[in-house]
Amino acid sequence: MSEYKAPLRDMRFVLNEVFEVSRLWASLPGLAEVIDEETAAAILEEAGKITGEVIAPLNRSADEQGCTWTNGAVTAPDGFVAAYQAFAEGGWVGVGGDPQFGGMGMPKAISAQVEEMVNSAGLSFGLYPMLTAGACLSINAHASEELKERYLPNMYAGTWTGSMCLTEAHAGTDLGMIRTRAEPQADGSYKVSGSKIFITGGDHDLTENIIHLVLARLPDAPAGPKGISLFLVPKVLVNADGSLGERNSLSCGSIEHKMGIKASATCVMNFDGATGWIVDAPNKGLAAMFTMMNYERLGVGIQGLSLGERSYQNAVEYARDRLQSRSPTGAQNKDKAADPIIVHPDVRRMLLTMKALNEGGRAFSSYVALQLDTAKYSEDEATCKRAQELVSLLTPVAKAFLTDMGLETTLHGQMIFGGHGYIREWGQEQLVRDVRITQIYEGTNGIQSLDLVGRKIVGSGGALYNLFASEIRDFVANASEELNEFSKPLNAAVDTLDELTAWVLDRAKTNPNEIGAASVEYLQAFGYVAYAYMWALMAKTSVGKQAEDEFYVSKLATARFYFARLLPRIHSLSASVKAGSECLYELDATQF
């Protein structure tokens, strides 16, 4: 596997040139005094160093070794403790955290780039700070000031980590079915009892304490999702002076043996009357947890992008070096026995597909991050509302489409390696195993598709869709003639998506099965159109700059490839959606 090199040039291009983030930051009171283009560049540069030099070298050995569970205690792979300490000392755990409690206070547009670098370097490693940041977000938004002051500084500092304890063996996505109980105590605390599964970072030896956010029911809670509360339950109790006290009544029952992300401990957690404190009000647990969901789901989408980027870097290096056969147009490397495989049309098809999907995904994830920042910091009510609605619409697309494209990209990288692609020492098969999981956790991509079509498209009567589509229409209407090769097919693609959206809205009125039948292919079509918009924006930024830097030549060539070879996929997806749900129900359940 080649050394990981953070794509800093492309990140700067997206942030500074395409989206001109410094203008946005200057207009938002909460960001104007903490971030500018120069500061952002310095942060990304340093993040590139620690991810490339400290985290990336551990990725393969950590996959080979995995986590170990012995008598209820989990041990991370060799090198992880020291690497996490170095990562925490650099302030990276709290890069997006509240400065009041020791965080760096950076916008999501910056922390998203840091997340990409960390996950490209090592997805298993990156899950520990990611879950911690998510737990901090929920605590900061909903917990009492006392809980914030007691827990957030050490979590942002990386001294303690966090976990989310949602899923139970009988209740996956349907959290309304959870059975974990919380009994109120005279001192205001609660005794939490129950078992949770699939808990990322539920136990490990990276830090001295782990702060669990646990969904549970109070004794008098109403049935279903309206009766869920959220509790902060530390692994080790914290004394009034901030020092660590006794071990809490909780344990790790086992760890899962997974196909990938093996250095990330996925735990069964047992709470046996463990002491905890309520976060927010009783029966408001799902609302408190969902505060972080848009950030977490975007974060998982970025994981797909991250592994696609790592696969691409490996594949490009291999394709330049691997000699096999001759170019169809004649020998290109006449002093050697064969040409490098990068001369072959199919290898170029795969590399360009990887490049187009990665760079389109980076722009799209950054676009969604900017909406999160706008929604959080803008003081203009209309601007804030619009950003919140875009986040609501685009979050399921970001999670599902980025990870779906991540799998396609890692598979292309594996194929370019040929036989070496499934040999562990070359690294590509690990990326495939790791990225496959991103399509499943944090809500499967099928669930994300249902969320997009059922809640966001049909649920809003198409209003949320029109918000995004009208933005693309405005871009097309104002595009110059030199952008016609991109703006015209983009306009046609939006026409196709408009028609498809209207079809779904109409059919859903009379047949509830249509939403589920259409959802996956609809989200895919939406994703390809969204990426086309991103590529049109990048082309607009690059036109006229070709003589300045070959970087812009590459951008325009990749944009042409995207519009010519990838965007047309929407037509087959549209046909699949319009085939309807009837063919899904011709078989009786016993006939499968």
Q: Do residues 215 and 272 both lie within one domain?
A: yes
| Neighbouring residues of 497: CB distance < 8 A, sequence distance ≥ 6 | 469, 525, 526, 529, 570
pLDDT tens, residue by residue, 234-268: 999 999 999 999 999 999 999 999 999 999 999 99
SS3 309: helix
The one-letter code for the residue type at 532 is: A
pLDDT tens, residue by residue, 460-477: 999 999 999 999 999 999
Q: Give a yes or no: residue 371 inside a domain.
A: yes
Q: Do residues 358 and 466 both lie within one domain?
A: no
What Cα–Cα distance (Å) separates residue 323 from each residue in 315, 336, 427?
14, 8, 20
The closest of 233, 191, 199 to 214, measured between CA atoms, is 233
| Neighbouring residues of 532: CB distance < 8 A, sequence distance ≥ 6 | 489, 490, 493, 562, 563, 567
pTM for the structure as a whole: 0.96
* Residue 245 to residue 247: CA distance in whole angstroms: 7
Last residue of a domain, one of 249, 274, 290: 290
pLDDT-based confidence at 295, cuts 50/70/90? confident
The encoded tokens of residue 206 equal: 């990276």
Q: Do residues 431 and 475 both lie within one domain?
A: no
The closest of 529, 514, 504, 528 to 582, measured between CA atoms, is 514
The encoded tokens of residue 411 equal: 């598979």
* Residue 583 to residue 592: CA distance in whole angstroms: 13
> Is the per-residue pLDDT at 287 higher than 90?
no
E-strand ranges in 447-527 read none
* Residue 236 to residue 392: CA distance in whole angstroms: 36
The closest of 232, 253, 148, 246 to 182, measured between CA atoms, is 232
The one-letter code for the residue type at 316 is: V
Q: Give a yes or no: residue 2 inside a domain.
A: no
Query: Which residue shows structure tokens 């050490």?
Result: 154
Domains of the chain: total: 3
Q: Do residues 158 and 234 both lie within one domain?
A: yes
What Cα–Cα distance (Å) separates residue 554 from each residue in 18, 113, 550?
15, 21, 6
**In the prediction, which pLDDT does 333 show?**
85
**In the prediction, which pLDDT does 256 show?**
97
* Residue 84 to residue 227: CA distance in whole angstroms: 37
**In the prediction, which pLDDT does 504 show?**
97
Environment class of residue 103 by beta-carbon count within 10 Å: exposed (0-12), middle (13-18) or buried (19+)?
Answer: buried
| Neighbouring residues of 147: CB distance < 8 A, sequence distance ≥ 6 | 139, 232, 277, 279
Instruction: Calculate the CA 11 to chain-centre distance.
Output: 16
> Is the per-residue pLDDT at 294 higher than 80?
no
Question: What is the DSSP annotation of 397-449?
Answer: HHHHHHHHHHHHHHHHHHHHTGGGGGSGGGSHHHHHHHHHHHTTSSS-HHHHH
**In the prediction, which pLDDT does 172 show?**
66
Domain with residue 109: its CATH number is 2.40.110.20
pLDDT tens, residue by residue, 157-192: 999 999 999 999 887 667 778 999 999 999 999 999
Q: Give a yes or no: residue 548 inside a domain.
A: yes
Domain with residue 372: its CATH number is 1.20.140.10
Do the Cβ atoms of 423 and 429 come closer than 8 Å? yes
Q: Give a yes or no: residue 69 inside a domain.
A: yes
> Is the per-residue pLDDT at 289 higher than 90?
no
Q: Give a yes or no: residue 589 inside a domain.
A: no
Q: Do residues 273 and 354 both lie within one domain?
A: no
| Neighbouring residues of 196: CB distance < 8 A, sequence distance ≥ 6 | 165, 166, 167, 168, 180, 202, 214, 268, 269, 271
The closest of 161, 264, 270 to 207, measured between CA atoms, is 161
Average pLDDT over residues 546-555: 94
pLDDT-based confidence at 589, cuts 50/70/90? very high
Ramachandran angles phi, psi of 358, nearest 5°? -65, -50
pLDDT tens, residue by residue, 432-449: 999 999 999 999 999 999
What Cα–Cα distance (Å) separates residue 492 from each residue in 37, 355, 478?
36, 23, 16
> Is the per-residue pLDDT at 425 higher than 90?
yes
Beta strand 209-216 pairing with 160-165? parallel
**End-to-end alpha-carbon separation of the chain, Å?**
43
pLDDT tens, residue by residue, 8-37: 999 999 999 999 999 999 999 889 889 999
pLDDT tens, residue by residue, 339-350: 999 999 999 999
Q: Give a yes or no: residue 590 inside a domain.
A: no
Q: Do residues 437 and 451 both lie within one domain?
A: no
pLDDT-based confidence at 2, cuts 50/70/90? confident
Query: Which residue shows structure tokens 């809670």?
Result: 221
Residue 305, domain extent = 292-442
* Residue 321 to residue 155: CA distance in whole angstroms: 45
**In the prediction, which pLDDT does 276 show?**
98
Q: Do residues 96 and 227 both lie within one domain?
A: yes
Q: Do residues 329 and 373 both lie within one domain?
A: yes
The encoded tokens of residue 476 equal: 């097309």
Last residue of a domain, one of 290, 322, 340: 290
Would you tell me how many other CB atoms lie within 10 Å of the CB of residue 380?
Answer: 12
Environment class of residue 259 by beta-carbon count within 10 Å: exposed (0-12), middle (13-18) or buried (19+)?
Answer: exposed
Instruction: Calculate the CA 367 to chain-centre distance.
Output: 13
SS3 323: strand
- For residues 103, 107, 113, 116, the Cα torsion angle rounded to the nearest 10 degrees is 60
Half-sphere exposure of 197 (CA within 13 A, CB side): 11
Catalytic residue among 442, 499, 514, 586: 442
**In the prediction, which pLDDT does 177 show?**
80
Is 442 one of the catalytic residues?
yes
* Residue 78 to residue 61: CA distance in whole angstroms: 8
Q: How is the chain split among helix, strand and coil, in percent rounded to 5?
A: 60, 10, 25
Do the Cβ atoms of 447 and 523 come closer than 8 Å? no
| Neighbouring residues of 35: CB distance < 8 A, sequence distance ≥ 6 | 25, 106, 107, 110
The encoded tokens of residue 322 equal: 């691997």
Last residue of a domain, one of 427, 442, 457: 442
pLDDT tens, residue by residue, 77-97: 999 999 999 999 999 999 999
What Cα–Cα distance (Å) separates residue 35 from each residue in 23, 42, 106, 126, 345?
11, 11, 7, 24, 44
Residue 234 pairs with which residues in a beta bridge? 211
Q: Give a yes or no: residue 49 inside a domain.
A: yes
The encoded tokens of residue 506 equal: 């109409």
Q: Do residues 487 and 428 both lie within one domain?
A: no
Q: Give a yes or no: residue 90 inside a domain.
A: yes
* Residue 459 to residue 393: CA distance in whole angstroms: 11
Do the Cβ atoms of 216 and 189 come closer than 8 Å? no
Q: Do residues 74 and 37 both lie within one domain?
A: yes
Q: Do residues 401 and 523 both lie within one domain?
A: no
Do the Cβ atoms of 559 and 535 come closer than 8 Å? yes
> Is the per-residue pLDDT at 1 higher than 70?
no
* Residue 434 to residue 192: CA distance in whole angstroms: 33
Q: Do residues 422 and 448 both lie within one domain?
A: no
pLDDT tens, residue by residue, 414-423: 999 999 999 9
